[in-house]
Amino acid sequence: MKKNPRPSPRAPQSRRKPPAAAEGVRAIRPVREDLVLQACLEAYGFIRQEGRMADRALDYTLRHKKNLYSNERRAVAERVYALLRRQRTVDFLLEHAYPGFARLDRTRQDVLRLAASRVLHGESLEEVEHSAVQSGLGAGALSGLARAARTLEALPPDKRFPIAASLPDFLAARFREAFGPDAERAAEAMNERAPLTARVNGLKGDRERVRELLEKEGVSTQPTPLSPLGLILDTRTNAFSLEAFRDGAFELQDEGSQLLGMLVDAPPTKVVDACAGAGGKTLQLAVQMKNRGDLYALDVEEGRMEDLRKRTRRAGVHNVRTQLIPVDGPEVDTALAPLMGKADRVLVDAPCSGTGTLRRKPDARYRLTPEMLADHVARQKRLLERFSRLVKPGGRLIYGTCSVLPEENEAVVEDFLSRHPDYTVRPVAEELGAELGAKVSKGPYLRLAPHLHGTDGFFGAILVRAK
């Protein structure tokens, strides 16, 4: 994928071969472009016209396209995600490169979008145009992309940035506030494909042992540079089909998420994962606790709790107690009463805008609104207030999000501290060690971003309650 969100005028003339060709797959089993395009159009339509989440739309589409080869299924997913990452850029380019683009029917527009996105991401203009002609578009349909790219480059910076970054205007403004001079680099990194990262299950072996297991299955890996628990899977594969995964030797988890989990430093006593979800960090905490003590995993959705129960069985985890809690109301306090003031650690990995995970969920940027962002902040403050009551004197409250926006992060913590003088901030470097802490912290907080760390964007704070 191109590393610059600004489309270079030379980008359409790129001669890089598509990923499938680079792997040598085409020589054995050529991609049937007509079937791939049909599946792309279907999945993309579900996302952009019906508002379905990208991963679910692709899962649904590919489950019903049983005649696709594995390399074709991969091509569908990659092309749809690539277009979603660059949606606004692609539309700008086509509006300036293709006469009458806005008047075309939706299907023809989407065919052009998918084709232009492939060129923008480095595929050969000639090859993409050839497949576009086969799909009913005229020869030279993409010939104006280089000219359109120059038009984009010529825009004033404030107008160019949201389009080149492919962000809604309000979110582009938030990125500028959050990252300042680094905003373009940050957006650039958010529009790259994320690596496939695993966290080794320390209950079943160390990192080197898991590397050996994966090597036997033909999967090449490298250690994550920041987290001592992680592996980057270099070999493109369906990780869920691997025997090592089925045996619970690893879980898929972003390196940034692993670092956030490390802030908890969970002792084998009484620990609460207050917004457990499907339990990725819950399982990480269970390893920290060496499968001892009581680890309470709380969530408001039974479906996610059931997923967690399945994952604990696969991971060989025995100390997790799942508990479904009400969404709101006085019933919440009743449900939490047995834990009030008794937990050594409470992790509040709060629901958020997800702006740190746009590499993996590129469609989320188009659903987010300023009103939704305000709702997230209000909920984060309520959750931190609610679950702080579970922390015993001398215990710790760890607050985290997968957002890069200060209003969901530092501002929420500062609001909490202003009302709770019995809590103080423990610098994350004291937990992670000076060397690692210096790399991943901003002030006393964990602050991660793709352009700086190669991880998803994460925030973390350790709050200590006075004894």
Instruction: Say how many C-beta atoms besides its own lie within 10 A of residue 280's C-beta.
Output: 20
pLDDT of residue 28: 55
User: What are the residues whose beta carbons fall under 8 Å from the beta carbon of 113, sequence distance 6 or more?
Assistant: 44, 83, 87, 90, 91, 94
Using CB atoms within 10 Å of the CB of residue 371, give its burial: 0 to 12 exposed, 13 to 18 middle, 19+ buried: exposed
CB-CB contact of 342 with 270 (8 Å): yes
The pLDDT tens digits of the residues spanning 329-362 come to 889 999 999 999 999 999 999 999 999 999 999 9
| Phi then psi dihedrals of residue 51, to 5 deg | 75, 20
Predicted confidence (pLDDT) per residue in 434-466, tens digit: 999 999 999 999 999 999 999 999 999 999 999
Question: Are 97 and 136 contacting, i.e. CB atoms less than 8 angstroms apart?
Answer: no
In angstroms, the CA 112 to CA 94 distance is 8
Min mean pLDDT across 11-15, 100-104, 155-159 is at 11-15
Predicted pLDDT of residue 19: 41
Cβ atoms of 434 and 251 closer than 8 Å: no
Quote the mean pLDDT of the chain.
90
Residue 8 has pLDDT above 50, yes or no: no
CB 274 within 8 A of CB 300: no
User: Running DSSP on this structure, what letter comes out for residue 66?
Assistant: T
pLDDT in the model for residue 12: 39
Specify burial of residue 307 (Cβ count, 10 A radius: 0-12, 13-18, 19+).
middle
The alpha carbon of residue 178 and the mean position of all alpha carbons in its chain are separated, in whole angstroms, by: 18
Both tokens of 386, joined, read 């609610």
Helix (H, G, I), strand (E, B) or coil at 30: coil
Place of tokens 């489950």: 63
- Give percent above pLDDT 70 in the chain: 92
> What share of the chain has pLDDT > 90, as a percent?
80
Q: Provide the 8-state DSSP code for 226.
A: S
Mean per-residue pLDDT for 84-95?
Answer: 95
Terminal C-alpha separation, the chain: 52
pLDDT of residue 143: 84
